Amino acid sequence: MKNYNVGVLGATGAVGQKFIRLLQNHPWFTIKALGASGRSAGKSYKDAANWIESTPIPSAIENILVKNCSASEFEGIDFVFSGLDSSVATEIEGEFARAGIPVISNAKNYRTQPNVPLLVPEVNPDHIELIKTQTFTDDGSGWIVTNPNCVVIPLVMSLRPLFDNFGVKSVILTSLQAISGAGYPGVPSLDILGNVIPFIGGEEPKIADEPLKLLGTLKKDSVEYARFPIQATATRVPVLNGHFLSITAALETPPADIDEVINVLKDWKSPIAELGLPSAPGYPLHVYDDPRYPQPRLHADSENGMQTAIGRVRSSNVFDISYVAMAHNTIRGAAGGAILNAELLVKKGYLN
Amino acid sequence: MKNYNVGVLGATGAVGQKFIRLLQNHPWFTIKALGASGRSAGKSYKDAANWIESTPIPSAIENILVKNCSASEFEGIDFVFSGLDSSVATEIEGEFARAGIPVISNAKNYRTQPNVPLLVPEVNPDHIELIKTQTFTDDGSGWIVTNPNCVVIPLVMSLRPLFDNFGVKSVILTSLQAISGAGYPGVPSLDILGNVIPFIGGEEPKIADEPLKLLGTLKKDSVEYARFPIQATATRVPVLNGHFLSITAALETPPADIDEVINVLKDWKSPIAELGLPSAPGYPLHVYDDPRYPQPRLHADSENGMQTAIGRVRSSNVFDISYVAMAHNTIRGAAGGAILNAELLVKKGYLN
Amino acid sequence: MKNYNVGVLGATGAVGQKFIRLLQNHPWFTIKALGASGRSAGKSYKDAANWIESTPIPSAIENILVKNCSASEFEGIDFVFSGLDSSVATEIEGEFARAGIPVISNAKNYRTQPNVPLLVPEVNPDHIELIKTQTFTDDGSGWIVTNPNCVVIPLVMSLRPLFDNFGVKSVILTSLQAISGAGYPGVPSLDILGNVIPFIGGEEPKIADEPLKLLGTLKKDSVEYARFPIQATATRVPVLNGHFLSITAALETPPADIDEVINVLKDWKSPIAELGLPSAPGYPLHVYDDPRYPQPRLHADSENGMQTAIGRVRSSNVFDISYVAMAHNTIRGAAGGAILNAELLVKKGYLN
Amino acid sequence: MKNYNVGVLGATGAVGQKFIRLLQNHPWFTIKALGASGRSAGKSYKDAANWIESTPIPSAIENILVKNCSASEFEGIDFVFSGLDSSVATEIEGEFARAGIPVISNAKNYRTQPNVPLLVPEVNPDHIELIKTQTFTDDGSGWIVTNPNCVVIPLVMSLRPLFDNFGVKSVILTSLQAISGAGYPGVPSLDILGNVIPFIGGEEPKIADEPLKLLGTLKKDSVEYARFPIQATATRVPVLNGHFLSITAALETPPADIDEVINVLKDWKSPIAELGLPSAPGYPLHVYDDPRYPQPRLHADSENGMQTAIGRVRSSNVFDISYVAMAHNTIRGAAGGAILNAELLVKKGYLN
């Protein structure tokens, strides 16, 4: 197996740090270059970053000199992970792609571009083929793949089996989101300690839109979106990690009974289960029977933070079914999801 | 104005303590008797109670000898407030009513009895007339009035204007409930610190049922329930006070636009506004325009904890409208609500 | 009684907001001018401030146009409260004093100036006379008075009786400080949720030094500092309001027994008790006998946040005594303390 | 290497659950019997326990039938771990020892018995020899070994090098203890959310006494205690895991400078480093240079929860040195510490 030299853009930020921690000891990928803003460029990583992970900076990383996020400084890098802020991601990610360096991005900027895959390996692995229609380079060597907003993960992971088996007519949900979703310094403690904030700027439209692309049908050079309304209320709660959703859904073909729904969720098989991807969770979807579960503090780290947990699956007197879903927002919902995307891209021959 | 001698049943519990604190300096009501379990009976209140309020035990209360919750020990008491545990409330409250001592209860036991008013003064003051149909005593001197579950308050307070102006077809909601709702010792800190618990035993059926009685129509000797389905997911969050609800509602007569809804909520007039009840909030319903509000820690104490706060009123792409609502669960949702009930009962001539 | 027109410098910050809230309905002082940075100047207060208090911006304040912190814009103002950031306080406060406008400051900048009183009315009211030695203006019309660091309040309030009765030989303390002490946005929630931070930059030297000036002896034009070492470890804990200290002290004249110490603390009489200052707490020092008390969340608001609470007074097997002390850091320890200083200055004839 | 059949007493409680989780996949020890109260006896473990660990009950454990804590039911068990409540530990642990079944206990009951080792492998491994003087059985087959109170671990681990190199004259400390230290249900959330509790019943005497036995000198059939006073103030803070201590110490032989102290701590070598004990941390003591560290939420899990972290080592103007120390209270301070004790006992030939 080839070992890949990878770069991380936005390496000093919260997402960048998570990339660095998760890639420590990765069997396929080795970080060889770190990019950040001009303020950090030229410094050693340990001097540039305000490290907030609980384990120390990997020793192979701490003395790497941080570069500017300029493609010309990333020669010899096979591809880059991007944890860039959305204020700069459009330009920088585009520049890397045009320079022939594939970008596997956690930023939102290209998610809605028709020929950029918005990718969750267990949900829509076929969308990967959109890459072939991208025109950043003449020879196809540079392209961009994105993963969805962190709170979309537990939603779309749980909707995939429901959508395939029953069809989805409409969804109403309330999210209880962890503070780590806002990055660092992020949410002031004075705002959230012992409190609920009923609004997260920009979050609800993403929750309404991204699942429709993810569950959409691949066409020649774009995705035909799924069509059903999603109404979301996004709130912040004093939880460290784990975005929690309370979901009620109307289905196209109502199930005979709730057990049919539970069985569909429990029996669901991941389309990438047999590929041997290093970061793929053994059980990407877990259904709890105990009504007290899942809980973010107890279960966000399940399967190294890559599992989506479902619970309280029950009939609804308004819509067909109601349930809760939860996933680790900065692992599965951000850096870990992007790494899994990269692993799938390797396996499918897009990276070489 | 007559001053009433009142008793408190379940006086050592969390709700009982709140009754004692809120009745300190009440212009109409003076606590003259305290009832608790046999374990406490015979002790001075300060020795019997594990006082958890932040202000000290009122000096007029601390040396009162706690009695058994037996009507024979409450002679000379005009009426009692009940903060009894539901495991004993059916029997004890019934005994007091039969002995001719009115019971104004926060317990759930009699809420669904056809001729017992489930009362929120701003919502259904006319239901008070059900008292006349009660048969605990031959002369009508003993009766029971109840207030709803704490989380029902922000729901029914916000539904009242919507129900009257547009009709309500169905409601889907998720509650984020404060720890004080579980009493003391209540929720173990190991369960809730930095966490969400997706289930509160027994809560969701109450949320589905009680609003229908509260919004129902008074008939001869019972209430004809309102008819629309309410789907609730009740969660616990690490918040001290203030139950917060994320609500989506389908309306019978959809509004022209969202401003019509906002205006209906803002212009709503409380039917008891002119009665001069001491505990009535000046503004029982407040609509925030700032999408960051309301927040439980900031706003649960508004109007001495008696206000219901509404925010994020907006159109829904699934149902007609979506909004959040919040009220103080142990004041407005429990002891404070019961005291307001008593004040209305005084004004309406039921207590004398 | 004359009513004073007052200004607030740093009006949009956390301390400035607390000044505005506490001065609402003040019987002597009326806010007539608000100063902030150039970014806010020219805007109405409600547009300039990111208001974080739980009660709304007072209606008399919301439309006041914010000024630059320049003395020339504060004509007609009798004196100003300063909640300025220390990065600008030296220059701005000095300019106001030189312009003949008294400054009652919460900033640290002038606290250690020999002829600037570091003032806590109950602790060292006589130090007020240092004002006469200030030379900002020829006619003495402009001067500066400061209050101490927020965590120093519970320390010096509890040391005053001990120092007077037994003498103090040395003090070792650990502080558990609330997040509000860091202002807004202040402590990131990712740093403090469910955590302890063992270090607060710049805090420990202030804890070691300021009490010595406060307990010092007034000389002709300066204060002779008290002389005993204070060793402090300042930590941050996930508490909203109330700085809590665990204190162990060696005394010059050891008490006969611990009851003597407790009685000295309980019997202590505030030197300003008879002055009728509107913000003076009835009981500036309260000693709890229950070992579970004081607790910041329960007791920080006692006496409108102006009381220092003491508990767990006991003998130490290393030093003479050990106890805990707690006070509200943003009221008693900041804006409320400065307002009390202003009230004393009025009463003593320094403001007219 | 022999594999040992072990039992767990108090298996359904919080400490018992931690034993079960930590012993999953242990290379030497296999759980073969679980003991709990009569209420649980006869049930399968998964029915008897209210499991609160975040990972599921190990499949090898969930169907084990819980026994009464009676030695006669533990035939074939090589030794037992005890997580018994102190209300029953004296009797039950004694019965097991008399029946020839060694007890490795986390309970406090036998800690102060002269011929029972109070054991921390890195601190006083030689005390293990006290076992030979125990008289529970004629043939020496039954005996008891204990580990100290959870908060004593970071104290005694940090004092060991200081005591050996400089001597210790006196210690003043304040502990900030995690909620998990109180077991389950333990601390009510209403007491601790956003709060500090200044008192933990029974804790301070243990902090004052146990280190003196641990640092004491082994004599013929008892330990000569070290002699220096420890003054402790034990507080509870809203932290999940990790007891944090702020420590100031006077030394017999003051160091030349603080670097000498830091070097002594950093250079300290564990006496069991070469024994290859499976649960021994590679670095039992870690000294942080960054003044923001250690923090319980970030560092309690270091080295699988078995490391003691030290920080802020500095000179004190009152005593010689001041520092903070922290360790995971339910792993290193309870179940993990007892397992390490068992491993040492195996290696030293006491278990066979």
- What local confidence, expressed as pLDDT, does residue C149 receive? 97
Hey, which residues does D234 pair with through a beta bridge?
Answer: D175
Which residues in chain B have Cβ-Cβ distances shorter than 8 Å to C299?
54
For C278-302, how does the pLDDT look when each residue is reduced to its tens digit (9 = 90+)? 999 999 999 999 999 999 999 999 9
How far is A128 from chain D, CA to nearest CA, in Å?
Answer: 34
Q: CA A322, A328, A332, A335 torsion: positive or negative?
A: positive
Average pLDDT over residues A250-279: 97
Residue in C69, C127, C150, C328 annotated catalytic: C150
pLDDT top residue among A349 and A2: A349
> Residue type for C251, please?
L
Decide if C195 touches D, using CB distance below 8 A. yes
Average pLDDT over residues B269-294: 97
State the pLDDT confidence band at D165, using cuts at 50, 70 and 90: very high
| Alpha-carbon span B35 to B12, nearest angstrom | 8
Report the candidate in A204, A250, A325 with the shortest Cα–Cα distance to residue B312: A204
- What local confidence, expressed as pLDDT, does residue C1 receive? 77
Q: Mean pLDDT in chain B?
A: 97
Is the predicted pLDDT of residue C200 greater than 90, yes or no? Answer: yes
Give the DSSP H or E segment for B14: helix B14-23
Which of C54, C194, C302 minimises the CB distance to B298? Answer: C54
Average pLDDT over residues C190-196: 98
Roughly how many angstroms between the first and final C-alpha of chain A, as a whole number?
A: 10
| Alpha-carbon span B248 to B318, nearest angstrom | 9
Average pLDDT over residues A260-288: 98
Write out the DSSP string of B97-140. Answer: HHTT--EEE-SSTTTT-TTS-B--TTT-GGGGGGGGG--SSTTS
In the block, residue with structure tokens 């007569």? B253
Which segments of chain D does DSSP mark as H helices, in order?
Answer: 14-23, 45-48, 59-62, 86-98, 152-166, 189-192, 203-214, 258-267, 296-299, 302-305, 336-347
Whether the Cβ atoms of residue A140 and residue A242 lie closer than 8 Å to each other? no
CATH 3.40.50.720-classified regions of chain B = 4-149+335-347
Strands (E), chain A: 4-9, 29-36, 67-68, 79-82, 103-105, 144-146, 168-177, 217-218, 223-224, 230-236, 243-251, 285-287, 308-315, 321-327
Decide if D240 touches C, using CB distance below 8 A. yes
Which of D189, D193, D240, D297 to mutate against chain B (most B CBs within 10 Å)? D189
| Alpha-carbon span B84 to B97, nearest angstrom | 14
Strands C168-177 and B4-9: unpaired
Token digits of residue B17: 């303590």
Report the complex ipTM: 0.96
Query: Computed over its alpha carbons, how large is the radius of gyration of chain C?
Result: 20
Under an 8 A CB cutoff, do B318 and A239 touch? no
Which of D190, D191, D195, D240 to mutate against chain B (most B CBs within 10 Å)? D190
SS3 B307: coil
Neighbours of C64 (CB within 10 A): 20
For D247-292, how does the pLDDT look when each residue is reduced to its tens digit (9 = 90+)? 999 999 999 999 999 999 999 999 999 999 999 999 999 999 999 9
For B106-161, how does the pLDDT look when each residue is reduced to its tens digit (9 = 90+)? 999 999 999 999 999 999 999 999 999 999 999 999 999 999 999 999 999 999 99
In the block, residue with structure tokens 């961009």? A144
Is the predicted pLDDT of residue A319 greater than 90, yes or no? Answer: yes
For B10-36, how does the pLDDT look when each residue is reduced to its tens digit (9 = 90+)? 999 999 999 999 999 999 999 999 999
Is the predicted pLDDT of residue B1 greater than 80, yes or no? Answer: no
Strands (E), chain D: 4-9, 29-36, 67-68, 79-82, 103-105, 144-146, 168-177, 217-218, 223-224, 230-236, 243-251, 285-287, 308-315, 321-327
Under an 8 A CB cutoff, do B189 and D189 touch? yes
- What local confidence, expressed as pLDDT, does residue A105 receive? 98
Which of D195, D231, D295 minimises the CB distance to C239? Answer: D195
Strands (E), chain C: 4-9, 29-36, 67-68, 79-82, 103-105, 144-146, 168-177, 217-218, 223-224, 230-236, 243-251, 285-287, 308-315, 321-327
Which of B53, B54, B189, B237 to mutate against chain C (most C CBs within 10 Å)? B54
Q: Which residue in chain D has the smallest CA separation from A296?
A: D54
Decide if A169 touches B, using CB distance below 8 A. no
Distances (CA, A) of D24 to A99, A326, D105: 51, 26, 19
The reported pTM is 0.97
- What local confidence, expressed as pLDDT, does residue B352 receive? 79
- What local confidence, expressed as pLDDT, does residue D1 receive? 77
Which of C172, C240, C292 minimises the CB distance to D318? Answer: C172
Which residues in chain D have Cβ-Cβ distances shorter than 8 Å to B187?
188-190
Whether the Cβ atoms of residue A26 and residue A339 lie closer than 8 Å to each other? yes
| Alpha-carbon span B165 to A30, nearest angstrom | 63
Give the DSSP H or E segment for B248: strand B243-251
Token digits of residue D14: 């919080």
| Alpha-carbon span B111 to B120, nearest angstrom | 12
For B90-103, how does the pLDDT look when each residue is reduced to its tens digit (9 = 90+)? 999 999 999 999 99
Under an 8 A CB cutoff, do A172 and B237 touch? no
Strands A168-177 and A230-236: parallel
Residues of A taking part in catalysis: 150, 243
Distances (CA, A) of D49 to A135, B192, D8: 59, 19, 13
Average pLDDT over residues C173-197: 97
How far is B307 from chain D, CA to nearest CA, in Å?
Answer: 22
SS3 C51: coil
For C133-143, how does the pLDDT look when each residue is reduced to its tens digit (9 = 90+)? 999 999 999 99
Under an 8 A CB cutoff, do B54 and C301 touch? yes
For A187-214, how does the pLDDT look when each residue is reduced to its tens digit (9 = 90+)? 999 999 999 999 999 999 999 999 999 9
Which segments of D73-188 does DSSP mark as H helices, in order?
Answer: 86-98, 152-166
How far is D309 from chain A, CA to nearest CA, in Å?
Answer: 13
Neighbours of C260 (CB within 10 A): 14
Neighbours of B, requiring at least 3 CB pairs below 8 Å, are A, C, D
Average pLDDT over residues C3-21: 97
Neighbours of C323 (CB within 10 A): 24
The CATH H-level superfamily of B4-149+335-347 is NAD(P)-binding Rossmann-like Domain (3.40.50.720)
Structure letter (DSSP) for residue A332: I
In the block, residue with structure tokens 């991005």? A105
State the pLDDT confidence band at D352, using cuts at 50, 70 and 90: confident
The rounded Cα B136 to chain-centroid distance in angstroms is 23
3-state helix, strand, coil in chain B (%, to 5): 30, 20, 45
| Alpha-carbon span A248 to A322, nearest angstrom | 4
- What local confidence, expressed as pLDDT, does residue C121 receive? 98
Cis amide linkage into residue B296, ω under 30° from 0: no
Whether the Cβ atoms of residue C105 and residue C114 lie closer than 8 Å to each other? no
Average pLDDT over residues B283-303: 97
Q: Mean pLDDT in chain A?
A: 97
| Alpha-carbon span B251 to A58, nearest angstrom | 57
Burial of D235: CB neighbours in 10 Å, binned 0-12, 13-18, 19+: buried
For D63-112, how does the pLDDT look when each residue is reduced to its tens digit (9 = 90+)? 999 999 999 999 999 999 999 999 999 999 999 999 999 999 999 999 99
Whether the Cβ atoms of residue A24 and residue A63 lie closer than 8 Å to each other? no
- What local confidence, expressed as pLDDT, does residue D186 receive? 97
Which residues in chain C have Cβ-Cβ distances shorter than 8 Å to D230?
317-318
Strands C285-287 and C308-315: parallel
Which residues in chain D have Cβ-Cβ distances shorter than 8 Å to A54?
297-299, 301
State the pLDDT confidence band at B163, using cuts at 50, 70 and 90: very high
**How big is the CA angle at C44 (ends C43 and C46), to the nearest 5 degrees?**
120
Under an 8 A CB cutoff, do B189 and D184 touch? no
For B320-346, how does the pLDDT look when each residue is reduced to its tens digit (9 = 90+)? 999 999 999 999 999 999 999 999 999
Query: Computed over its alpha carbons, how large is the radius of gyration of chain A?
Result: 20
Is the predicted pLDDT of residue C216 greater than 80, yes or no? Answer: yes
Rounded to the nearest 5°, which phi and psi values hold at C308?
Answer: -95, 125
Is the predicted pLDDT of residue D215 greater than 80, yes or no? Answer: yes
Which residues in chain A have Cβ-Cβ distances shorter than 8 Å to C240?
190, 193-194
CATH 3.30.360.10-classified regions of chain C = 152-328
- What local confidence, expressed as pLDDT, does residue A1 receive? 77
- What local confidence, expressed as pLDDT, does residue C38 receive? 94
Decide if D211 touches C, using CB distance below 8 A. no
| Alpha-carbon span C131 to C182, nearest angstrom | 30
Under an 8 A CB cutoff, do D188 and B193 touch? no
How far is B288 from chain C, CA to nearest CA, in Å?
Answer: 11
Which of C189, C194, C240 minimises the CB distance to A188? Answer: C189
Please count the helices (runs of H) and the strands (runs of E) in chain C: 11, 14
Which residues in chain D have Cβ-Cβ distances shorter than 8 Å to A302?
54
Q: Half-sphere exposure (CA, 13 Å, Cβ side) for A321? A: 30
- What local confidence, expressed as pLDDT, does residue D277 receive? 98
Hey, which residues does C187 pair with through a beta bridge?
Answer: none
Which of A54, A194, A298 minimises the CB distance to D54? Answer: A298
- Within the 242-301 window of chain C, which residues sit less than 8 Å (CB to CB) from chain A? none
Is the predicted pLDDT of residue B292 greater than 90, yes or no? Answer: yes
Token digits of residue B324: 């959040």
Whether the Cβ atoms of residue B54 and residue B32 lie closer than 8 Å to each other? no
Distances (CA, A) of B100 to B95, B135, D72, D285: 9, 11, 61, 71
The correct answer on CATH 3.30.360.10 for the domain covering C152-328 is yes
